[in-house]
Amino acid sequence: MRRTVRAADRLPSRLPSRLPSRLPALLAGCVLAASLTACSEEQVRDAASDAAGDAACSVAREAMGQVADQAGAVADRIGADPAAAERELTALRDTLAAAEDNLGGETRARLEEARTALDGLAAEAEQHAEGTPVDRAAVQRERERLSEAVQGLREVC
């Protein structure tokens, strides 16, 4: 009599006994893979955060540099045409305010400081337009505040 061999009968009898001995190694491999994936996700988050911070600093530096240069020139003209100086300083302040909307933390704080200095310069221009003599000391203080804000931004970024 011939015996038929089924596919299930061909499996090695040692298969069930090998699985328990390999299980710890398999689990260790899964844990290692999971921890490497977690590190990679954290690194990706850090890289994305760094890139966003760099972009914010780039925008802030560009806006602040242009505004500071223009504000210095306008401040020199407060005595000659105070109404025009006030309009220009207000526009520069609004430029910084728009840039602030997309920023946070120290970068935003430095732009706020610069905006406050521009408000002070615009107030001096407005007062002179109304007939009050230009307070050169006040103009100088606001220019220094603006310079300090620019320097503070350089330190932050």
Compute the radius of gyration of the chain from its Cα atoms.
34
Per-residue pLDDT of the chain (157 residues; tens, 9 = 90+): 555 555 555 544 444 444 445 444 544 454 444 444 455 666 545 555 555 567 778 878 888 888 998 999 999 999 999 999 999 999 999 989 888 887 888 888 999 999 999 999 999 999 999 999 999 999 999 999 999 999 999 898 8
Provide CB contacts within 8 A for 103, sequence distance 6+.
56, 59, 60, 111
| DSSP structure string for 31-68 | HHHHHHHHHHHHHHHHHHHHHHHHHHHHHHHHHHHHHH
The model's pTM: 0.65
| Topology (CATH level 3) of domain 55-156 | Four Helix Bundle (Hemerythrin (Met), subunit A) (1.20.120)
Phi and psi, residue 5, nearest 5°? -100, 125
Number of C-beta neighbours around residue 131 at 10 A? 7
Q: Do residues 134 and 128 lie in contact, with contact meaning Cβ atoms separated by under 8 Å?
A: yes
